[in-house]
Amino acid sequence: MGKYTLIASCALAAAATFASADDVKKRTAAMDQIRMGAATLVPVIKGDKEFDAQVADLALRMTYAGALAFEGKFPEGSTSKGANPAIWENKADFDSKVLEFISNAEAAVAMQPNDLLSLQSAYQPLLKNCAACHKAYRIKN
Ligand code: HEC
């Protein structure tokens, strides 16, 4: 291997590492935003906190934005402590779960829930998405 080939491949490897560290940061930040949405909405749908249409709308929009930001942040090799390697073994299934979550979140915002019952039916599909995807693809540390 020539000297310049070596330097070039080291530079490429470093670039790949930085790119994936950035992806991990972006996707965990997106999930944190989704978690904040859940922290707001779960007590409401359980009946522990009063329904407020504006708060619900904001939390659903946050969730939708988080879901959009989460998408596409799992390039090959962007491993992390929280990501199950099964993601890259079943990438098509993982991607379809992400897209389903995005479309459920979009639908929930569009429903504009105006009472507890409509919020429950808007948000419950999303909670099922969290559970199903985490079971298969997240390592809880
Ligand atoms: C399509 C898959 C998928 C869905 C749907 C999903 N998650 Fe996640 N979630 C993940 C993966 C994968 C990680 C680990 C990411 C990593 O650490 O690189 C994660 C990590 C997290 C984390 C930890 C973030 C951190 O700071 O490390 C929280 C909190 C979280 N998810 C909450 C939720 C909630 C709440 C929902 C539903 C409203 C949800 N997730 C829906 C796949 C998903």
CATH number of the CATH domain containing 120: 1.20.120.10
Give residue 5's pLDDT: 63
In angstroms and rounded to an integer, the radius of gyration of the C-alpha atoms of the chain is 19
Ligand 1 site-directed mutation target among 138, 139, 140, 141, most atoms within 8 Å of CB: 138
Please indicate whether residue 26, judged by its CB atom, sits closer than 6 Å to ligand 1: no
Structural domains counted in the chain: 1
Any residues with CB less than 8 A from the CB of 124 and at least 6 apart, and which?
45
Structural domain contains residue 11 = no
- CB 59 within 8 Å of CB 97: no
Q: How far, in Å, are 2, 39, 130 from residue 70 at the CA level? A: 40, 18, 13
Tokens describing residue 49: 């906190």
Q: What is the pLDDT of residue 6?
A: 57
> What is the per-residue pLDDT for 100?
98
Do the domain assignments include residue 15? no
Structure confidence at residue 65 (pLDDT)? 98
Please name the residue whose Cα sits nearest to atom 32 of ligand 1.
Answer: 35
pLDDT at 106: 98
Q: Is the CB of 42 under 6 A from ligand 1?
A: no
* pLDDT score recorded for residue 141: 87
Which residue's CA is the nearest one to ligand 1's atom 37? 130
Residue 20: what pLDDT? 78
Residue 10 lies in a domain: no
Domain containing 85: what range? 23-137
Pocket test for ligand 1, best of 41, 100, 126, 130 (most atoms within 8 A of CB): 130
Q: What is the mean pLDDT of the chain?
A: 92
Residue type, 59: A
The answer to whether residue 60 sits within a structural domain is: yes
**Domain assignment of residue 50, yes or no:** yes
Q: Residue 79 domain-assigned?
A: yes
Q: What is the pLDDT of residue 21?
A: 86
Residue nearest to atom 31 of ligand 1 (CA): 31
- Among 122, 104, 103, 101, which Cα is nearest to 113's? 122
Asked if 16 and 77 count as a contact pair (C-beta separation under 8 A), the reply is yes
Residue 8 is assigned to a structural domain of this protein: no
In the reported structure, the alpha carbon of residue 130 is separated from the centroid of ligand 1 by a whole-number distance in angstroms of 7
pTM confidence score: 0.90
Q: Is residue 77 included in any domain, yes or no?
A: yes
pLDDT-flagged residues of the chain (< 50)? none
